Chain A
Amino acid sequence: MATIVAEATGQAILHEEHEQSFLRKYIFSTDHKVIAIQFLIYTLFFLMIGGLLAMLMRYQIAWPARGELPLGGIFPETMVASGYILPEFYNALVTMHGSVMVFLAIMPMLVGVWANYLIPLQLGTHDMAFPRLNMLSFWAMVPAGILTLASFFVLGGAAGAGWTLYAPLSARPDLTGVGLGQILWLLALVFIGLSSILGSVNYITTTINMRAPGMTWMRMPLTIWSLFITAILALLAMPVLSAAGIMLIFDQTIGTSFFLPEGGGQPLLWQHLFWFFGHPEVYILILPAMGFTSEILSVGSRKPVFGYKAMVLALVSIAFLGFIVWGHHMFQSGMNPTLGLAFTVSTLFIAVPSAIKTFNWMGTMWRGNLQLHSAMLFAIGFVAMFAIGGLSGVFMASTPVDIYIHDTYFIVAHIHYVLFGGSLFALFGAIYFWYPKMFGRVMNETMGKIHFWLTFVLFNVVFFPMHGVGMVGMMRRIYDSTGYAHLQGIEDTNALISWAAFGLFASGFLFAFNFFWSLKKGKKAGANPWNATTLEWQTPSPPKHGNWEEIPVVYHGPHEYSHPDVEDKDWLAQNERPDVVSPAAGSH
């Protein structure tokens, strides 16, 4: 029945195509592919903004007494005065770097871009279940972006209480010095929540109902599995954040005191609500990346994914455990220490499915025929960096060690190994990998490889030493660390980190140049440039509106590479019948 519905909507869409104006086709489009590209442009822009904020922070951290920043014309005197970043502005940078990267860059790039682009194509359907809802999920992000950017220029500047918005600091303008900026950011967050919830409903419905004939659950590519589970996480977690955000707006504006002790409220309640959302959020930010990595490693190794079922089970168990570990952010918060015991155990056990995934990725590469193109390099980079981020997590899961390293740069190193070394590496890989499908041309390989090596080396020069700075005891979010006796002697390391960070940021422009240059000058791709098996590669690049002339039929699992019975080529598309390609293969 699901198929009939899919075909019916598909025909309606195909029919519509001829009558569409420019505005309907490229701006207010309901085509999942156009919406994905809109998300991609949007998120790449905010990735740059988030990076820029980080560069300003790094300047301040390395040279707190230097000044000389020519930013006076851009930001008001209350933020940057005669070349000096003021504490007001530094707190805004800290807060908005984290907020922009998590909510406006990485999360919508993982989900908004790739769930939109890949779910209908990899499942073999014409579009999303609810195309108009899908359009709304993009357009809800637009006011969020505008509010965020605007908040830098209002009186008091942008939000300055950290991306975790801990109350009472975030709730009392008299204590942060930030009034309107904090409210604007919370309103942006409400729009982001709306976008994410609408998107999730769509991804879940489409995955359950609109799979092509023969696409059983255990034949879905791991990208789809990861995006599907991510959508469930987002649907359960985002409403909590939105509700908490609205409560915080009330505390700021109409005199409630949910989180203010003087009115009977509880500051820790905010932390529980925030992290009840926040920890599933961490997995929202990594599961899709794991999915892309599995796909790219399989294609690039010319081998089926090692332990497909174990990979699916690991995804599901990470998602489940992700909901019962939030308290590990609160070991030193004043929460009852006995609760900490339970959270230690659940947290440490997330290491098990993470280890399973890492070993299965290595298993996928083992005895492969590795094609080390840019996408593959980033996918391998993901495994290598995610492993470091996972292992450094063991230190903070162990509560006694966390007493010391909590709120130090050790945590900053950890989160960036997961979110940059993990999520962003996988995202770069995904862009190199699916760009030919999106735009019909392959991104330049030479530039891609240079971009990979610059990113890989500089990333490690930036973030590995942060473990050391954290061990020395440098606190997070410190405007100027030079006044502390125990932090004497780390100035050189901080300067090195900052120089490497500037290089890392600059290397992003090589990627951006390659991205736009290849639109016109890239090598023509053809339908299937990587000889890949999943359905999206079995339709022209870029696919037409509606994706398929005829809905494909799926005969087997997603990663049939180097099947011994298939001769002449080392792959078998999901919609190719093994016994037609090679009679001997029919038995599998």
Chain B
Amino acid sequence: MDWALPPNYSTFGVVIDQLFWIILVITGIAFLLVEGGILWFCIKYRGREGARAHYTHGSNKLEIIWTVIPAIIIAILGAYSAAVWQDIKGASNRPADALEFLVVGKQFEWNITYPGMDRTLGTADDFTVLNQFHFPVNEDITILLESEDVIHSFFIPELRVKQDAVPGMTIPVWFDATQTGNFEIACAELCGLGHYYMMASVTVHSAADFDAWQASRASETAQ
């Protein structure tokens, strides 16, 4: 198998994956430096009869070098991570006109409430579907995430979305899918005996398909 991140289908996923690879390169270099150094020292300075070690208590110059360089790299990485995090999660960056859904986790199912044709939650044409999440592509989506019993975690790997659902809280999560397709919601937080099968199907439609699906669903529920 290939050890790779699954293909990304969301706008935020692009920067998340980019950051992942940046960190992989930086830590990869550090990894080679450290492991290579250890291996080299083990071979080169392997004990020999009559040999004597070099007597030293250290070097302030080296201490400064290997304190300052990691600190600079870390500071840059930290600043960049913080900026990306703020872009993705910052309350001020919550899309204003997103299509909203209510997602309620409970042992061991996901209940998704749809806004209906008026595109507004809390109105008469809302309807709820068990374990099926349909939404349109290329549109800001916000889910209001709740839990009825214990903590669950809403995870769609291909959209790089993960958020715990906490009983007593309503947590907004937003994302934007860039391609249509079929995925799954997995529960990522141990939630009890059925944790392993707490999944729901995700269908990302084109805008027209989504409207058609919602209309057919709405008329079904109305009957």
A interface residue numbers (CB < 8 A to B): 87-88, 91, 94, 160-162, 166, 168-169, 172, 175-177, 261-262, 265-268, 301-310, 332-334, 337-338, 340-341, 344-345, 348-349, 351-352, 355-356, 358-360, 362-363, 365-372, 380, 383-384, 387-388, 391-392, 394-395, 397-401, 403-404, 406-408, 465, 467-469, 471-473, 475-481, 483-486, 489-490, 492-493, 561-564, 570
- On whether the beta carbons of B38 and A341 are closer than 8 Å, the reply is no
Task: Mark the stretch among B1-9, B112-120, B124-132, B209-217 that contacts chain A.
Answer: B1-9
With A400-B16, A473-B6 as given contacts, are A394 and B52 in contact (CB-CB < 8 Å)?
Answer: no
Query: In the complex, what residues of B have CB within 8 A of residue A383's CB?
Result: 34, 38
Q: Quick check: is B97 within 8 A (CB to CB) of the other chain?
A: no
Smallest CB-CB separation from A494: which chain B residue?
Answer: B1
- On whether the beta carbons of B54 and A340 are closer than 8 Å, the reply is no
Q: Quick check: is B62 within 8 A (CB to CB) of the other chain?
A: yes
Smallest CB-CB separation from B85: which chain A residue?
Answer: A399
- On whether the beta carbons of B195 and A267 are closer than 8 Å, the reply is no
Query: In the complex, what residues of A have CB within 8 A of residue B167's CB?
Result: 168, 261-262, 267
Smallest CB-CB separation from A477: which chain B residue?
Answer: B190
B interface residue numbers (CB < 8 A to A): 1, 3-6, 12, 15-16, 19-20, 23-24, 26-27, 30-31, 34-35, 37-38, 41-42, 45-48, 51-59, 62-63, 66-67, 70-71, 74, 77-78, 81-82, 84-86, 88-91, 107, 149-151, 153, 155, 157-158, 160-169, 171, 183-184, 186-197, 199
- On whether the beta carbons of A365 and B84 are closer than 8 Å, the reply is no
Smallest CB-CB separation from A466: which chain B residue?
Answer: B3
Interface centre among B31, B85, B183 (most CB of A within 10 A): B85
Smallest CB-CB separation from A265: which chain B residue?
Answer: B168
- On whether the beta carbons of A475 and B164 are closer than 8 Å, the reply is no
- Distance in angstroms from B104 CB to nearest chain A CB is 14
With A87-B194, A261-B167 as given contacts, are A356 and B67 in contact (CB-CB < 8 Å)?
Answer: yes
- On whether the beta carbons of B168 and A166 are closer than 8 Å, the reply is no
- On whether the beta carbons of A370 and B41 are closer than 8 Å, the reply is yes
Query: In the complex, what residues of B have CB within 8 A of residue A266's CB?
Result: 168
Query: In the complex, what residues of A have CB within 8 A of residue B193's CB?
Result: 87-88, 91, 160, 176-177
Query: In the complex, what residues of B have CB within 8 A of residue A338's CB?
Result: 90-91
Query: In the complex, what residues of B have CB within 8 A of residue A358's CB?
Result: 34
Smallest CB-CB separation from A408: which chain B residue?
Answer: B188
Q: Which residue from B23, B52, B62, B164 sits with its C-beta under 8 Å from A363? A: B62
B interface: dominant SS: mixed
Query: In the complex, what residues of A have CB within 8 A of residue B77's CB?
Result: 348, 394, 398
- On whether the beta carbons of B45 and A370 are closer than 8 Å, the reply is yes
Query: In the complex, what residues of B have CB within 8 A of residue A391's CB?
Result: 27, 30-31
23 contacts between A and B (CB under 8 A): A172-B149, A176-B192, A302-B47, A303-B55, A307-B62, A332-B163, A334-B169, A337-B86, A337-B89, A345-B82, A348-B78, A362-B37, A368-B54, A372-B42, A401-B81, A403-B162, A407-B153, A473-B186, A483-B197, A485-B184, A486-B6, A486-B157, A562-B55
Alpha-carbon separation in the docked complex, A521 to B215 (Å): 82
Alpha-carbon separation in the docked complex, A262 to B167 (Å): 9
Interface centre among A371, A383, A469, A473 (most CB of B within 10 A): A473
- On whether the beta carbons of A472 and B81 are closer than 8 Å, the reply is no
Q: Which residue from A169, A356, A492 sits with its C-beta under 8 Å from B150? A: A169
Query: In the complex, what residues of B have CB within 8 A of residue A303's CB?
Result: 53-56
- On whether the beta carbons of B74 and A352 are closer than 8 Å, the reply is yes
- On whether the beta carbons of A400 and B157 are closer than 8 Å, the reply is no
With A176-B192, A334-B169 as given contacts, are A369 and B63 in contact (CB-CB < 8 Å)?
Answer: no
Q: Give 13 new A-B contacts, CB below 8 A, not counting A265-B168, A310-B63, A337-B89.
A: A87-B194, A88-B193, A166-B151, A166-B190, A172-B149, A267-B168, A334-B163, A334-B169, A338-B91, A344-B81, A370-B46, A394-B77, A401-B81
- On whether the beta carbons of B67 and A352 are closer than 8 Å, the reply is yes
Query: In the complex, what residues of B have CB within 8 A of residue A366's CB?
Result: 41, 45, 54
